[in-house]
Structure 1
Amino acid sequence: MMFLLKHDKGFRILDKELPDPIDTSIDADLTRIYFYTQFIVDNTTTKSFDTSAFLEIWDTIVKAIVRIGGDSMQNQCDCLKTEVIGENIKGAMLGLVEIREKMTVLKQKLESDLSKAIKDNKEEEDFNEEVYYKEIDKWLDEDKMFVETKASTSLLAALRNGQKSITVVGSFCVGKTFTTRHVALILRREGYKIHPVSSLDELKKLCVKGHRTLFIVDEFCSGSIIKRGIDIKMWEKMSDDLLGSQSKIVACCSLMLYQHSSFKNARLSFFRSFVLNMNSSYALTSDELHCVAKRHTDIDDTLIQKYSSEFPFFPFHYSKCSLFSKTYKEGKHISKFICHDALFINAMVVYKFQLDTFYTDDKLKYTALALIVQMNNYVEEECFRESRTGKNSVLHQVNTISDSCKFDKKNKDNKSIQLFKSLSDIECELKSMIGSFVIVMTDSKNSLVYSAKNLSVYEMLATYFKEELPEHFSGKFPVHKKCKKLQ
């Protein structure tokens, strides 16, 4: 039982020592019970105890049992203390001793097999220096085009001043990865070892106590909803102890994930100690936008002003994005959106790629954005609270969008699985996309209204869904007249 509690349920039960007397946690009490059980059944232990030793042990174990099981356990322990042990019970106790001896042999065998497996796989787990230096060389080459910004100087200053954990937050293509890698290369010149990692196990393998190391986690907890949930559970175990005194970690997290309820409700306080938000306090200034644009292309000031006012990114920047570059290089879905200037990628490409990703990995976000188009860029907060189910209801519209997208799934019994539990799930997704795709306005009744971030983004959404879902999105979708009054 103790073996299962320790290795399966994660209780910290010590093997051969008693906990501190003042420690009354469940882990400590289970350790006391385990320790004295071993002490009594161990065949090297004296076969008898004097009364004072017995009473001291008994009192300690009873207190531990009562703390774990409640006051009702006190009476059962009192009765057991005075009960006469018969031959059957003696036989059972001797049987337990025999079982314990067999478990000790089994444990030794398992440990031996585990050591052999680790040794056999050591070559596969060894750090691949060739791949590492190729990746760093790529960073160095791309860094030649970097322009210093408020975000990069602030990130560097925080790391130099002793901040151990920093989360860089921003919508797609604001430069989270580019900025983080630039700062990492500066610290590398100052003596830090730089390690990009994607999992906690990888970090543990590469972390050497006493060595100055900067770990970079790109695309923090990204991917499908299932993968995101698994990653969040994994990173919840992160702590200062795992890093040691000399190491630091920077995680690049999308604004949509950071604002999502699944992230807010997770036990990720380690990654909230210092947040650098590149969509608000550390967003590119107008001067920085101008310098970045001039560094990358020869576009004129008019276009710089256009893109800096309408989009949270420069389209040519997005070809540097780690998620986008794979699709861009393969030429999927984007050839017809490339501008005549090869250095300047149309903003539509950026959004189309994100929407295609949502269709595969985050169907609720895809449905929520389609709803904005369906309701002419004016989605009232109240509609998520309504109980209507008719053709004009929001619930009906969401379900028809889901049907058009062929999101309906079947379980092993061939029964339909709902995409969402309630309309509040759709509203939750809209909230998570504030700043990236969505803004929130207040109407004359002081109620919230969700709409696309600006007219250009709405037109892009309408064009996209009319092309992808022509059966459902036919005709025109003009901006709601109420929306025009609020903007």
Structure 2
Amino acid sequence: MNEKENKVNLDKNIKWIIKNLTSVNPPINGFDYLPLPGETTPGSDLARIKWYRNILAHHDSNTMPTGDFNTAWRNVADAVSRLGGLSMNQECQDLKVKMLDQSNQEIMLEIKQSQEEMKELRQTMDIEHSALRENLRDLQDSHSTLQTEHSNVTEILKDPIPWNIREQINEELENWKEDDKTFIETNGTKCVLKCIKENGCVVVTASFGSGKSSLVRHVALQMQNEGYDILPVSNPKEIIKWYNPIKKILFVVDDFCGTYSLNPMKFENWKNLMEKIKTLVEKKPVKLIMSCRLQVYKDGQMESLSFFQACECNLLSADLCLLKTEKQSIAEFYLKTNASEISEFYDMFDCFPLLCQLYSKNSKLNIIDFFTNPFIVYKEEIDKLQTEGAHVKYCALALCVMFNNQLKEEWLTEHVDENIKTIIKNTYEACKVVEGTSRLVLRDELDSLIHTFIRKDGEVYRTIHDKLFDFLAFYFGSEMIYYLINNAKSQFISERFFFERKKKNDEFTIVVPENISKCI
């Protein structure tokens, strides 16, 4: 039993004795309160002694103010005198001034020492209690961390996507979010978002450079906010493989059946798995949003992909095309105060958003010339690289074309196989680069072209936009067609080179001259 409980029990015992074993009348306010000064009955004096006894017993210190001590001593001494007579009064007076003998001093010292020990013990207990609380918090944090890690591990085990692929997807989505900071909301964006909410599969079509990929990614990020797991994929097999029945998934596919023309292999893959994908989409948790260039989507063979024809959002249609006010907002965002200078050219090109973006990265160009005929401006810039002796810069752009817009940095800094060396050496020759020029110089020149012609995705150099690559491919296809045919990637050749122009509006089709086609 602790000290507090002892004191409470003592108070109860005193009250019980007074009430049951004596005939003492209680004071006016009862035994639990200090009686009034005028109350001098035996019951009042007993209550008075009890009151002061409790004050001293519950006192936290071994000292008290002199005034309080004198008042308490006088009231207790008077009460004892009234209850015990003159002899008790005299004893109280003597006790007040009595000198402490050796025994009493030792007792007081022991009391004082005990109080100090109690104080130290209390401090030690407080420190240990604080340490225990801190340890408890650490344990709780560790437990919470373990629960989170356990939950993450459980999710990873349930996830059909390998963890390393998942990390790559997360990095790609972070890049989307960064690019999305400059995205300008349009009426077309709102319509596409409404369509994907209401339908299982939506295909966004437009000509190149009109912003369909940016729009698709923006809409996908909006769906992520509504609980969808966003998964960029490049082929239909990944949709089948990564389907997860316990998750809401939005698969995102860019140029799903080819970039410049219908890709037969991609077309067959989508055709063969169309029914399986349709079944998954009809189960509701799965959605698809896809982009496709109009010249690919309008190919006659695409009609057999009926499921992917059900909901098309054509960004060039009257309902979804950019309004004049939207084009003005885009121009003002990228061109700032120069926007008013090109207001009459808003409708000249479908790729107006891209032109604004490209000009903002190379604003030294003449803005009127650029927006009336942007590729003549770029042609002049590239021609100047060659005529003014910047042969390595010129070669850097040519190599981007040779490697089909995927020029890896490691090919310029590390040991490479003979095939890569040969392509670089032949391109050096075509661009009049001095033989023996270090590949590191070539890398430095590529870095210098970043933000004007080139961007760097991880360790791969690419043009800042597909539209610009279309132009570069056409430019170098005209300037060094023999070198391209002999050195460029086979995919590039099959997609870009034709023995005759298919359509009058195929402005970037590379037609193989008759004298070379005979050699082939």
Q: Bin the TM-score by the shorter chain.
A: 0.3 to 0.5
Larger radius of gyration: 2
Larger helix proportion of the pair: 2
Greater RCO, 1 or 2 (C-alpha within 8 Å, sep 6+): 1
